[in-house]
Amino acid sequence: MRIDRVLANNPGPFTGGGTNTWVLGDGSGKVVVIDPGPVDTRHVTSIMGVVGKRDVEAVLVTHTHSDHAPLANPMARDLGVPAVGHVPGPSFDPDIRLLDGAHFDVGSLDLTVVHTPGHSDDHLCFRVGDVLFSGDHIIGGSSVMVDDMGSYLASLEKLRGTGLQRLLPGHGEEMDQPDTVIDWYVAHRMQRHEEVFEAIAKGADSTPDIVEVVYADVDSSLHPLAARSVQAHVTLLIDQGRIAYAGDRVVAVSQTS
């Protein structure tokens, strides 16, 4: 097995140093490209330089966000291979749709699909042996924006204790000791969850107010992004019966945590 990373040229507040495009090969000349990123002809040239004389079998995406998927269809079309993902999205239409537990052959490699909703509903991780291409479910060096907190936490639990040794994320550096990383992710999320509850218990009753309290130490340019995660915490707190809507405001209905 050979794995190469090609960094897309899209650094920014939401993408860190840029999107990691992964080229996964079986060692006998067959490869797949995972998360080609935004449409960018120079990035295609870089990817194909890494592919070299090997044959690209498919272009896969972990999810359909704009920093991961838009190049997949045009690149797959040019190469005459399928674009592969979970479901269609804003800038992606898969030729092959993969469901949880599906297997996808990369030459002699057996790639297993793990549906990991939370960051987005359509998020997949790809597992080969003890290596996981984790997309934006788990990234290097920070937490991720979460759309659905209950699903997200369940998707972390789904991976814990499954014998993983390496995480290859959609952003940031690769990680070893995946279970330790997952423990940190869960602990961080539960801490944020309690901070959101505490903010509401102390009177913050709208998403912007909660963001101001909970993300006081985070640059305000990132607050719109933080608002999505706060909304996900609020939804989970409502599901848990700890807060309730009063009109369009939220109030704590329980003082215990």
How far is 38 from 18, CA to CA, in rounded Å? 10
Question: CB burial class (10 A; 0-12, 13-18, 19+) of residue 213?
Answer: middle
- Cβ 44 vs Cβ 56: under 8 Å: no
Single residue of 57, 67, 147, 148 touching Zn ion by CB under 5 A: 67
When binding is defined by CB under 5 A, the residue of 26, 35, 122, 136 that contacts Zn ion is: 136
Q: How many residues bind Zn ion (CB under 5 A)?
A: 3
Nearer to Zn ion, 210 or 232 (CB): 232
Judged by beta carbon, residue 57 or residue 64, the one nearer Zn ion is 64
Specify the amino acid at residue 59: V
In whole angstroms, the minimum distance from the beta carbon of 190 to Zn ion comes to: 23
Least Å from the CB of residue 216 to Zn ion: 25
Region from 64-72, 105-113, 154-162, 223-231 binding Zn ion, contact rule CB under 5 A: 64-72
Compute the least distance from the CB of residue 59 to Zn ion, in Å. 16
For the CB of residue 14, give the shortest distance to Zn ion in the complex, in Å: 7
Between 66 and 112, CB nearer to Zn ion: 66
Q: Which is nearer to Zn ion, 75 or 234 (CB)?
A: 75
| Sequential DSSP letters for 91-144 | TB--SEE--TT-EEEETTEEEEEEE--SSSTT-EEEEETTEEEEETTSBTTB--
Quote the CA–CA distance of 203 and 176 in Å, as a whole number: 41
Separation between Cα atoms, residue 107 and residue 101, nearest integer Å: 19
By C-beta, is 221 or 255 nearer to Zn ion?
221
Distance between CA atoms of residues 201 and 167, nearest Å: 37
Tell whether residue 122 is a contact of Zn ion (CB under 5 A). no
Residues 162-181 that bind Zn ion (CB under 5 A): 170
Distance CA 195, CA 214 (A): 6
Instruction: List contacts with Zn ion (CB under 5 A).
Output: 67, 136, 170
